[in-house]
Amino acid sequence: MTVLALRSAFFIGGIFSFSIVAQGAGVANDWLMKMSQAARTLNYEGTFVYQHNNQLEAMQIVHRVDNGSINEKLVSLNGVPREVIRDNQEVRCYLPDENSVVVEHRKANGKSFPSILPENLHLLDNNYEIRLGRKGRIADREAQLVAISPQDQYRYGYSLWADSKTGLVLAADLTDTRGRAIERFMFTQINIGSDIEPSALRPRSEGKNMVWHRGSWDWASEDLKPTWKVTRLPKGFALSASMISTMPMRSVPAEHIVFSDGLAAVSVFIERMKRGKKAGMRGPSSMGAVHAYSTVVDDYRVTVVGEVPAATVAQIAGSVTAGD
């Protein structure tokens, strides 16, 4: 399980068969801003269902904001036990069945669950159509639908249901270029705005006697100009970050370049191959909505991964070259 790949989306009954209302994009953008603000400022706790890869999971979430610092705990309620603790600096995934804890460091950029909200709304208009849909009811709360449709085959679409009172996302569909749901998420019960004690964020398993796998960032090199280039980025994608990182359970540091269109993000990892080591798997792979493409350039393994269509990672991987 990749911790940062916890994504939200859902559907129940016929509630998501909606007709788009002829509203201006500005009104819909206001709703996106309201959703983003709610995720950064509100305390909430509840239970949601998450459908992906023909699987249905039930999870519990506790989300606490303290002086701008966001802390979250997610606990699986069915299937293999697992628990995710997240803050602005790192994500810890407790896997009792594997007797291990996986730790991934993250940039303190304020992004939080659900992570599908846009970072830069002004970048979206050229690549997505954003419209308001009908009103509905999610988890016994009035909700407003916001539909985000891609204008090409290089990105997914989203159907977001926001709480009418607070703007918090209560449900979402991640959709392909044909409008079919790939992942689905929906709160079934939620309490918004209550006081949450710090103790509620503690893991059930403290990790004692477990094997810890830690990744790392080279903070000194973060956001510096990358030494590798992508010559054929899909329209709308631009450099978002560049750093040196070591992934959990991997010993070789990799150059990590992130491209974003303001909503979707794609990571490019470039690592030097050890002499005499086989190149390993090449070509496409996928897990639900996440697609990856691996190739070899000179003596380096290039892996492109993101919650985007297969065509996007394939085009980027095929155009990675060493910089000047």
**CATH number for the domain that contains residue 71:** 2.50.20.10
Q: Read off the pLDDT of residues 248-266 as tens digits, 9 standing for 90 and up.
A: 555 577 888 999 988 889 9
Same domain, 241 and 196: no
| Window from 47-61, 274-288, 299-313 with minimum mean pLDDT | 274-288
Same domain, 289 and 165: no
Same domain, 160 and 31: yes
Measured at the CA of 285, the angle between CA 270 and CA 149, to 5 degrees, comes to 95
SS3 of 304-318: EEECCCHHHHHHHHC
Report if residue 210 sits inside a domain: no
Report if residue 208 sits inside a domain: no
Domain of 251? 216-322
Report if residue 206 sits inside a domain: no
Is the separation of the CB atoms in 245 and 256 below 8 Å?
Answer: yes
pLDDT score for 24: 43
Q: Read off the pLDDT of residues 263-294 as tens digits, 9 standing for 90 and up.
A: 889 999 998 887 766 666 789 998 888 999 99
- pLDDT band per the 50, 70, 90 thresholds, residue 245: confident
Same domain, 34 and 157: yes
CA distances from 77 to 49, 60, 155 (A): 10, 7, 31
Does residue 141 surpass a pLDDT of 60?
Answer: yes
Mean pLDDT of 216-242: 75
Does residue 153 surpass a pLDDT of 80?
Answer: yes
pLDDT score for 5: 32
pLDDT score for 33: 85
Greater confidence, 18 or 39? 39
Q: Read off the pLDDT of residues 195-205 as tens digits, 9 standing for 90 and up.
A: 999 999 998 87
pLDDT score for 111: 45
Q: Read off the pLDDT of residues 180-197 as tens digits, 9 standing for 90 and up.
A: 899 999 999 999 999 999
Name the token pair of 70. Answer: 């966001």
Is the separation of the CB atoms in 36 and 166 below 8 Å?
Answer: no
> How many domains is the chain partitioned into structurally?
2
- pLDDT band per the 50, 70, 90 thresholds, residue 32: confident
15 closest CA partner among 156, 150, 114, 161: 161
Greater confidence, 151 or 104? 151
> What is the C-alpha to C-alpha distance for residues 97 and 300, in angstroms, rounded to an integer?
34
> What is the C-alpha to C-alpha distance for residues 144 and 105, in angstroms, rounded to an integer?
34
